[in-house]
Amino acid sequence: MKLLLKFNLVLFLVFAVGFLAVGFVTNRLLQRNAKQEILENARIMMEAALAVRTYTSSQIRPLLITQIKYAFLPQSVPAYSANEYFSQLRKKFPDYSYREATLNPTNPVNRATDWESDVINHFRQTPDQSEMVAERDTPNGRVLYIARPMKIAPPCLQCHDTPEVAPATMIEKYGNANGFGWKVNDILTAQIVTAPMQLPIQRANTAFAGFMVSLAVVFVMILLALNAMIIYLVTRPVNRLSKLAHDVSLGNLEVPEFQLSGKDEIAELSRAFGRMRKSLIEALKMLEN
């Protein structure tokens, strides 16, 4: 096996191991960063919803509370404000969603779906847990969701204790079949923000593919450069020395002298061969005399 082939095999083996190791680490890092980006976006939206709820509770509801005797205005309900805020946001970001899923809501629109009910029941079973982050498959692709439980506070019972004590205007709007019998500190609702994973993961995959292609191109360039150096600095001089040595071993002392300039090992070898050739010629002349 030629020296150059051995060198290329070893270099290729080292590159293959390094390529796989770097690819594994890089892919995990990019995927983790993509999920962190998705989670950060979801948390920002969750905090935005909480800010809207707080604003409604502290500034809007006190202005509208007296109107409830004449007409029920959903604008005074924090959940309504948060959902309206997100409905405007979804016009530009349709793949994101916000829900205040409830097991027993006054407004049927807020009724929890099967998987949302599972999330709420999980919080009911683990009341100390303040947040859940998970993934799920949907018809539009895989999504990440962040959920937080909402405990029933005493002010909520003004509308959700029994139909008899609830505002008459609310009963007129939503009826008396749902949204009652709530208990303080019970968990009936979960705030759920859903964020798409497709685009960030796709960007991560694109970056990974670009990085790996660039790494492969760099390796090929290094391999070609090293091969050129080996051929020019090692293989060709050694082959010439090998041919001269072969001719001298057959008794041909008229071969031209071959010496390389420089101070590397191949140059030293060529000078040593030249001295050996001269010594051999002189020895043969002495034998002839």
Number of other CB atoms surrounding residue 216 within 10 Å: 12
In terms of C-beta density within 10 A (0-12 exposed, 13-18 middle, 19 or more buried), how is residue 171 classed?
Answer: middle
Separation between Cα atoms, residue 33 and residue 192, nearest integer Å:
22
6 token code pair: 């051995």
SS3 185: coil
Q: What is the pLDDT of residue 61?
A: 80
- In the predicted model, is pLDDT for residue 192 greater than 90? yes
Cα 191 to the center of its chain, rounded Å? 25
Write down the H helix ranges in the chain: 3-55, 61-64, 78-89, 114-125, 157-160, 168-174, 198-230, 236-249, 265-288
The CA distances from residue 12 to 18, 27, 220, 225, in Å, are: 10, 22, 10, 14
pLDDT tens string 122-141: 999 998 888 999 988 888 88
Q: What is the DSSP letter of 233?
A: I
pLDDT top residue among 65 and 201? 201
Average pLDDT over the chain, rounded to whole? 84
> Do the Cβ atoms of 116 and 90 come closer than 8 Å?
no
Summarize pLDDT for 142-167 with one digit per residue, the tens.
Answer: 889 999 999 888 888 888 888 888 88
| Cβ pair 166, 106 in contact under 8 A | no
Give, in degrees to the nearest 5, the angle at Cα 116 between 111 and 121.
Answer: 100
What tokens were used for 226? Answer: 């090293």
Instruction: Compute the average pLDDT of residues 29-58.
Output: 89
